[in-house]
Amino acid sequence: MNRSSMPVENQGDIELCLFIEPYCEDYWMKPGEALTVRSEAEGIDVWFDTYVSKGCVTVWLYEDGDPHKIVGDYAVLDASGNRLESGHQRPQGQRWSAAGPIID
């Protein structure tokens, strides 16, 4: 895997939210499931900034690690390489705040 992609695996025993900024897109992983965040931009060095909170991993993609150069052209893939849409496996009745999903 090159520097323009980042695997995320849920090794816990509850659902985990992968939250991609700045578009507030959410992808939910069941225990044991793995997803990959991949830049679609060609020829740039993408850095991934991650924040972990209860039940959630938030990811920002930056060109050359510069937080002023947000990479908005990305894809989230499942283990088979299928491109996923935001809301993938979102729990019914999921609540939100300005900062993202509310994990009870």
Domain map (residue ranges) of the chain: 5-101
**pTM of this structure:** 0.90
Classify residue 81 as exposed, middle or buried by CB count within 10 Å of its CB (0-12, 13-18, 19+).
Answer: exposed
Cβ atoms of 45 and 3 within 8 Å: the answer is: yes
State the Cα–Cα distance between residues 31 and 21, nearest whole angstrom. Answer: 23
Count other C-beta atoms under 10 Å from residue 94's C-beta.
Answer: 14
- Predicted local distance difference test score (pLDDT) of residue 44: 87
- pLDDT (0 to 100) of residue 1: 43
List pLDDT tens digits, range 19-69: 999 999 999 999 999 999 999 988 888 999 999 999 999 999 999 889 999
Q: What is the pLDDT of residue 100?
A: 79
Mean pLDDT, rounded, for 7-13: 96
Q: How far apart are CA 78 and CA 34, in angstroms?
A: 7
Sign of the torsion angle spanned by Cα atoms 53, 1, 43, 86: negative
